[in-house]
Amino acid sequence: MNNMKRMILLLLCLGTLSASGQGWKSSALKSRPVSKFRYKVDTLQYKGQPVAIQRYDMEELGMSVENGATDHLLKLHLYRLQSQMDLMKEYMLKGEPGYRDDAEGTLEKVIDADKNFNTTNYEQELAFYRKICGVKSKIENAADERREKERQDSISRELEMKRKRFALRDPNVIADEDRELASWYTGVEPYGSVERMAWEKINRIEEAEERRQLDSYVNARMEQIYLQLMEEEKKQKAEAQAAKKKRKADLIAKYGTEVGGMIASGKVAIGMSTDMCAAAWGRPADIRKITTAKKERQQWVYGKGKYLYFDNNVLAKIQE
């Protein structure tokens, strides 16, 4: 029984001494700066590409990260950075490379915590992972954004200069510069681009010129047709007048001056023959005949209450 008590007491003492040793070690690490910590640099080969892997002892970093520890922020961020990079290395060696964007932020915090801390190997290792994963760094992305902004600003300045030069040109005259600008227009630029404005200006002026030419042609053609119609009408009137004079002359020659003149004027008189009346009034719409032993009576119907009555082909009665 006494031996058992002595054994338990011995174990308790050893535990106390061990805890005391750990506390001493933690206290010593707390006061030691990172620059005094041990680290090692290994070379990792991945698909024939070498990269330096620098690591501080994670256990020592973890034990020294406490409030009040010397450069504890540097140790904390360095611990996180190495953890993130170890995770990227692990996945890369599994053939499943993946880039952690937060590692760059952690590296920036390490640099902010100690400007003199050498992070060259960490930066090169991150660059290696970016290359493997096909991504760009924040600095590279920022540079791309800056270059793109400069490009857009340059385009905007050039566009503004084009707008100003375009505005100075006569809006109703197509200049060589307008045709040059319009030749760049593809129909997909946003509305208001100088190329589109030049294209629309050329279309507007050319369409107006086409309309003017068409109107001029139509007006000239209408004038030509009008003159032709007037000439034709004049010719027809002259021919009608000549035909009228000839008819009158023929009638006078045939029936005498008085009777021929009356027939030419469209007049009939009692005693005229059927031929004379037909020449004066034209052929009737209908002819009605009544024949007796002594004579043949005819009624010529002209319509609208106009009738001529003949006895033996001699006009006997006029009804109008």
Query: Final residue of a domain: which of 81, 108, 140?
Result: 140
Residue 240 lies in a domain: no
Residue 168's CB is within 10 A of a number of other CB atoms, namely: 7
CATH assignment of the domain containing 273: 3.30.1450.10
Per the structure, the count of domains in the chain is 2
**Structural domain boundaries enclosing 297:** 266-319
Return the structure tokens found at 109: 């915090």
* Domain-located, residue 202: no
Please tell me the distance from the alpha carbon of residue 140 to that of residue 166, in angstroms, as a whole number: 38
CB 222 within 8 A of CB 238: no
Domain endpoint, select from 114, 140, 166: 140
Q: Is residue 44 part of a domain?
A: yes
Q: Is residue 96 part of a domain?
A: yes
Which residues lie across from 99 on neighbouring strands?
A: none
What's the whole-model pTM score? 0.46
Q: What are the Cα distances from residue 129, in Å, to 22, 100, 103, 106, 135?
A: 37, 9, 11, 15, 9
Question: What is the rounded CA–CA span in Å between residue 195 and residue 198?
Answer: 5
Q: What is the spatial distance between Cα 73 and Cα 114, in angstroms, rounded to a whole number?
A: 9
pLDDT string in tens for the chain (320-residue length): 444 444 444 334 334 334 444 554 556 666 778 878 889 999 998 988 999 999 998 888 888 766 555 688 898 999 999 999 999 999 999 988 888 889 999 999 999 999 999 999 999 999 999 998 988 888 888 888 999 999 999 988 988 998 999 999 999 999 999 999 988 888 876 667 899 999 999 999 999 999 999 999 999 999 999 999 999 999 999 999 999 999 899 999 998 999 989 999 999 999 999 999 999 999 999 999 988 878 899 999 998 889 999 999 999 999 98
Residue 305 belongs to some domain of the structure: yes
Q: What is the token pair recorded at 82?
A: 């190495």
Asked if 63 and 135 touch (Cβ cutoff 8 Å), the reply is no
For residue 122, the model assigns a pLDDT of 95
